[in-house]
Structure 1
Amino acid sequence: MNQQQLIQKIENSLHKGFIDQNKPVSATFKPKLLTNKHHESVLSTLLQELKTCKTFYFSVAFITEGGLATLKTMLYDLKQKGVKGRILTSTFLNFNQPKMFKELLKLDNVEVRLTGEKGFHAKGYIFEHEDYYSLIVGSSNLTDSALKANYEWNVFLTSLENGEIIQHFKNQFETAWDEGIVLTEEWIADYKQVHVLQPFVNTVSSNALELNTKYLTNSLAESLSIKPNKMQSVALEQLKELRATGAEKGLIISATGTGKTYLSAFDVRNFGPKKMLFIVHREQILKKAMQDYRKILGGHEEDFGILSGNSKEVNAKYLFATIQTVSKDNYLQQFAEDQFDYILIDEVHKAGADSYLKVINYFTPKFLLGMTATPERTDSFNIYELFDYNIAYEIRLQAALEEDMLCPFHYFGVLDYEKDGELIDDATELRNLVSYERVHHIIEKINYYGHSGDQVKGLIFCSRKDETYELSTALNREGLRTIALTGDSSQEEREDAIRKLENGELQYILTVDIFNEGIDIPFLNQIVMLRQTQSSIIFIQQLGRGLRKHDSKDYVTIIDFIGNYKNNYLIPIALSGDQSMNKDNVRRRTVNTDYISGVSTINFEEIAKKRIFDAINNTNLSTLKTLKEAYTEVKNRLGRIPTLHDFMTQNSLDPEVIIGYADNYYKFLLKINEDIPSLTDYEQSIITMVSKEFLNGKRIHEIILIESMLNNDSINKEDYIQKLQDFGTYVDEDTITSVENIFSLQFFVQTDIKKYGFKPIIENVNGNYQFNEEIQESLRDSNFRGYIEDIIKCAYIKNAKYDKTKAMTLYEKYSRKDACRLLNYTKNEEGTLNGGRVKDNVCPIFVNYHKNDDTTAKYLDEFLSNDLFQWCSTKKRTVDAKDISLIIHSAEKGITVHLFVKKHNGEGKDFYYLGPVTVDSQTATNEKLVDEDGEHKVVTMNMVLEQPVQYDVYHYLVEE
């Protein structure tokens, strides 16, 4: 945009912010209050401004390592682009830690100075863009709590360079900067001495600064009675209620680090068994569990005993046994079947093994409790059935973070070492996995992203045994203190390594096939993943190793080296917990990571993010194997054949993925060999039509009509319109006619008409809508009716994300066929909507932003900014062509132009809806497009978006 347009936009934004809030303006320049509430954090705005700035200036009194961690990936990406910045901070109240200053020195593209200004308490962030400045100023220091979790007040403003406010801020900054001291290693060494002598004391009021709440434990606290935390209290009450129903079994599903062992000990104390048996798969876990139980239960030392390869204290009241030992006949037969009235099985997802089943089938306790963080299995064994489908309590990673039960984490998805354009993948030779270059790449990344606490205490997951041993040796050569542990390592070796890691003799343990689960190392402050993500279950297990709270750390750093693996798409699935297998959902979870709770953050380096997108595009997420595994998991959990609606309530497969695979759910159930009542061919056609056209919830009108006629044989048009109005959706005659065309099948092309059974689904008889006679007859069958009702339930849930007052919702995805239906076309004309065509004063424009790599055509479609798009017509067009002229002069002719954009063809048929646009007729120009066939005439013109494209969608679309 030119300077005058920019001035006008900023003037309008100031008018909205300070004179009239109802004035419509560009969201890019709109003043706003940033509070960390309502899904817009200070951090997300700060990252957005950093991404597009030429340089930046931060003036902040207080900085924490966690606050820096939230920006490190962005600052690394800016360094790759040559973007530099400056940070001015202080030693006010000695809040800033010496180690934090060392972290600042790692930022090669950031210059840091210390102000000597007394009482320096500034909190401002200035960003210089190409044509303007933006500013965040208010209450937020550079701490992870202030940027993402605390309730803050910060004003976001934009200004041209000559604006008085921005000049005032810049002048204040430059004055303090010129008088400041350059941050150096020598300065930090001197400050460290002062900091030790004068530690920070919180003598100021709570509104002066924010401090992270820390869970402190000491010998006094240990001697006091331990109380259940919030999760444990709820779970204990639910266990009590479960047993009150007569249940003899219960399952606890609880994220790693949330206190399952303490929970079970509290429940044992409540239950008061004469004898108890606690079963695990490793002796190391056994000892820790017994220690925890003694804290909760008290009693004499001889009440507690271990049954394992090394200990045979079988007479103890509270017996802790390894499954390997207790399942042996010579030990199992020592006990009467009813000897233990309370039995617990930890890591119970392993209970499908013969050894576990043997023990479970032998004993007859009054109550059997199973505990796991990950009940999902890939071998079809039904853990839920084993516990009579009694899920006493469930809390997963996201909820546990929200409840502040886990240590916050900062996840960094970084690019693995690349040599001559080749990334690490499944076929990489060992010599390349441990090459000098890769080892230094690993060291560079783990140093840059750092850790919380005085010294690193890390766990590195490798891809195979030989890499584990060789890499440990290579890292040791570079001065690190590491050890390799595998399944071949003895229990004593493992315990010794953990002890050395805790006391600082070691910095890292490298492992390949152990420590995924069932190991408690709460002091870990860095997890490094140097292996392919084989499954989201294992990913969460490994991430969970660092999520236990410990007073030596404020957060845990997760560094995930992303190579050229086909399973990279599992990373956003695992982090978000979104098991829908909907590709668009996975992409969105990669781009927008605001779903993570508290001060935790998820960060991907730009190139690493591209590897994930490549994996999503190149992978079929809906193979029969994948779908059947997810289906079996839900069926096992429920103990019956699930409905499509069940998949949604269980946070499993997106029903649209199932329909995309099999046309309808009935066909899917047949494909996986379920024995179900049969449907006629015509009934199958109907549920296919309702599934493929309406389940997505993009327009609710058809669903409301179907539901109305399920409850009544017919409904008149006036009552139908009233139901639409009662629902709160838009109603007009064109939309009602469109709905009628859909159900008469007049809208569809011939192949769809054949697929949907040839004849009208709903007829208008004397002003009343009613199903055709064959459907009316079929609806008397509860089986067929159930499929229809199931789809209706799903459609209502899906419709909730759409703006029901409009035909289309910003940033949701639509196909050309969807656009024809929602714009009330009489016929599906998706095949003709390639170059922009005006019909009934509406023109949808569809753009594939990144064309195929193999095309030689230099297409001219381009975002000039997030609210200005340059559109290129199809070939052999000039500004005088009738269809092009209509688009150019659309504003004066009352034609509404809608813009739809997708990143590339790898996304399938759907496009992001970016809203109505106004064509700037003055910019329409004849251009030339060159391809293998020569030069072609095309037309380009600028289109001004009604709303600027939101940050995450915009950058996802434009970046290669």
Structure 2
Amino acid sequence: MELRPYQINLLNKTRKAYLQGFKSPCIVAPCGAGKTVIMSDMAKKATEKGNRVLFLVHRKELKDQTLNTLKWWGADMDYIEVGMVQTIVRRLEKTIKPNLIITDENHHALAKSYRQIYDYFPNAKLVGFTATPIRLNGGGLGDVNDVLVEGPTVDELIEWGNLAPFKYYAPKLVDTDNLRIRAGDYVKKDIEDLFTNKIYGDVVAHYNKLSKGKKAIVYCSGIKQSKEVAKVFNENNIPAKHIDGNTKKEERDKVIQDFRDGKILVLSNVDLVSEGFDIPDCNTTILLRPTKSLGLYIQQSMRSMRYKEGKTAIIIDHVGNVNRFGLPNLDRKWSLETKPGSNETEPAENPVKQCPECYSTLLSNYVFCECGYEFKVEEKEVEIIEDAELEEVTESFVINTKGLEFESPDECKSMKDLSEYAKARNYKQGWVYFQSKSRGWI
């Protein structure tokens, strides 16, 4: 029960932030960095001083996991309340006033329910934990948090033996001759059209080729697709099960336990098995769900990277998400500020939604609310291009923005910035000249 050096460093930097006058730090650490242990240690130290802690999670599975870790870490549970946001927000007047509010998966913290809780306890210190400190629409978390406390990179965790190394397989951009180029880059809509509602490659064949006999989590776009995927794996004598937000808890728990025990090899789902799901001997992630959300991409693609001795994680991306975001170990520059071009009014994707009848907060893939309200779901048909071959992705395969402070030309503030941007993307220097001239810099 000892913290790792980088975990101690994160706690020390957070303590320093409070001493400097910040009231709501956001701690950033990659998936698999042991955030629940860090949070448990913070809660334990708070209770040792007689402070009350309110621990916010957004899913029942995360609540159970958090309670178990807090007890294992030796925290005084008489001073700690662990609650789902959708429950706490309905019983604020019955919640004992906390001195500290810890928010797990802090990228959800801009939701109305979270902010109601923060506003109800204005004197409580706040701290959030996340691997992806960005709003669902790509903006920053500056409306809730006042400082970022950043931990190690994915590559550092792999080097130190805290995450498994990985191999990434994806379809190469096809028919690029037909893609339009604007401002020295492919037109984003053309790339989206290549992959929207399309799955490249035979899913079972690539699993057998790249990770046969290993545990795999499959992320699908809809319930119908997920059930079909499980069916096809079973027809090929590969034990598989589907679960979704409306699967009864007893059945869902049994399926997940069977997956842990190796009774099934493939677990197919829709956004359900992502945040906080920890099965170290899960070797493979299969992406069948195109997404515009960087946070969702990182949470899902890295799900197979939990460390186990001798393991190399396999990520099989049939929908080209890597072409939008780069590899999971890309060294990204985070900020609390909203980036240029982010959509402030319409999130690209929202993993949670609110019931219009009882106002409960639910995962976006739930069809029924506890109150009985039914969300109408229309699933789009998916085109499957079975003869497509996937190939291993290396850093040279995708745009290399590692170490850059900007992710689009609009963020470049000088000719030097443009030159670095062009070099990372193998653009010709003529592009820098025309970009600079159009901005009046030359």
Instruction: Indicate whether the TM-score tops 0.5.
Output: yes
Which entry has the higher C-alpha Rg, 1 or 2?
Answer: 1
**Residue 407 of structure 1 contacts residue 549 of structure 1 at CA under 8 Å; is this kept in 2?**
yes
Alpha-carbon distance in structure 1 between the residues aligned to 2:39 and 2:152:
15
Amino acid at match of 1:276: V
Alpha-carbon distance in structure 1 between the residues aligned to 2:108 and 2:429:
44
Amino acid at match of 1:409: F
Instruction: Name which of 208, 213, 223 aligns with 1:447.
Output: 208
Correspondence 1:306-705 to 2 at 5 A: 316-328=78-90, 331-336=91-96, 339-364=97-122, 366-379=124-137, 382-387=140-145, 389-414=146-171, 426=196, 441-450=202-211, 456-550=214-308, 554-562=311-319, 569-572=323-326, 574-577=328-331, 608=390, 651-654=405-408, 656-658=409-411, 695=415, 697=416
1:816/1:228 Cα in 2 relative to 1: closer, same or farther (>3 Å)?
Answer: closer
Name the SS of the counterpart of 1:576 in structure 2. Answer: coil
1:779-828 superposed Cα distances (whole Å, 9 cap, x missing partner): xxxxxxxxxxxxxxx48x949x89xxxxxxxx965346989xxxxxxxxx
Alpha-carbon distance in structure 1 between the residues aligned to 2:27 and 2:19:
17
1:249/1:278 Cα in 2 relative to 1: closer, same or farther (>3 Å)?
Answer: same
Aligned counterpart, 2:73: 296
1:611/1:378 Cα in 2 relative to 1: closer, same or farther (>3 Å)?
Answer: same
Amino acid at match of 1:229: R
1:409/1:616 Cα in 2 relative to 1: closer, same or farther (>3 Å)?
Answer: closer
1:395-441 superposed Cα distances (whole Å, 9 cap, x missing partner): 3434433443212222222579xxxxxx995456xxxx7xxx97xx3
Instruction: Name which of 36, 39, 42 aligns with 1:261.
Output: 36
* Superposed displacement of residue 549, structure 1: 1.9
Aligned counterpart, 1:227: 2
Alpha-carbon distance in structure 2 between the residues aligned to 1:267 and 1:427:
43
Alpha-carbon distance in structure 2 between the residues aligned to 1:546 and 1:359:
33
**Residue 218 of structure 2 contacts residue 287 of structure 2 at CA under 8 Å; is this kept in 1?**
yes
Aligned residues: 360
The reply on whether 1:278 has 2:34 as its aligned counterpart is no
Amino acid at match of 1:447: N
Amino acid at match of 2:285: I
**Residue 352 of structure 1 contacts residue 381 of structure 1 at CA under 8 Å; is this kept in 2?**
no
Alpha-carbon distance in structure 2 between the residues aligned to 1:251 and 1:264:
12
Aligned counterpart, 1:814: 428
Alpha-carbon distance in structure 1 between the residues aligned to 2:136 and 2:44:
35
Structure 1, unaligned stretches of length 5 or more? 1-225, 305-315, 417-422, 582-604, 618-646, 660-664, 666-690, 698-793, 803-810, 820-960
Correspondence 1:755-794 to 2 at 5 A: 794=417
Amino acid at match of 1:291: N
**Residue 245 of structure 2 contacts residue 272 of structure 2 at CA under 8 Å; is this kept in 1?**
yes
Amino acid at match of 2:93: Q
Amino acid at match of 2:45: N
**Residue 522 of structure 1 contacts residue 547 of structure 1 at CA under 8 Å; is this kept in 2?**
yes
**Residue 6 of structure 2 contacts residue 151 of structure 2 at CA under 8 Å; is this kept in 1?**
no
**Residue 168 of structure 2 contacts residue 392 of structure 2 at CA under 8 Å; is this kept in 1?**
no
Alpha-carbon distance in structure 2 between the residues aligned to 1:610 and 1:289:
36
**What is the TM-score normalised by the length of structure 1?**
0.34
Structure 2, unaligned stretches of length 5 or more? 174-192, 340-386, 434-442
* Superposed displacement of residue 277, structure 1: 1.4
1:404/1:415 Cα in 2 relative to 1: closer, same or farther (>3 Å)?
Answer: same
Name the SS of the counterpart of 2:214 in structure 1. Answer: coil
* Superposed displacement of residue 528, structure 1: 1.2
Aligned counterpart, 2:188: none
1:742-765 superposed Cα distances (whole Å, 9 cap, x missing partner): xxxxxxxxxxxxxxxxxxxxxxxx
Q: RMSD over aligned Cα, in angstroms? A: 4.1
1:267-311 superposed Cα distances (whole Å, 9 cap, x missing partner): 22333343221110011111111111122225xxxx53xxxxxxx
1:240-272 superposed Cα distances (whole Å, 9 cap, x missing partner): 212222433221011111011111122223333
Name the SS of the counterpart of 1:267 in structure 2. Answer: helix
* Superposed displacement of residue 333, structure 1: 0.6
1:56-100 superposed Cα distances (whole Å, 9 cap, x missing partner): xxxxxxxxxxxxxxxxxxxxxxxxxxxxxxxxxxxxxxxxxxxxx
More helix by share: 1
Correspondence 1:120-135 to 2 at 5 A: none
**What is the TM-score normalised by the length of structure 2?**
0.70
Alpha-carbon distance in structure 1 between the residues aligned to 2:17 and 2:82:
25
1:471/1:606 Cα in 2 relative to 1: closer, same or farther (>3 Å)?
Answer: closer
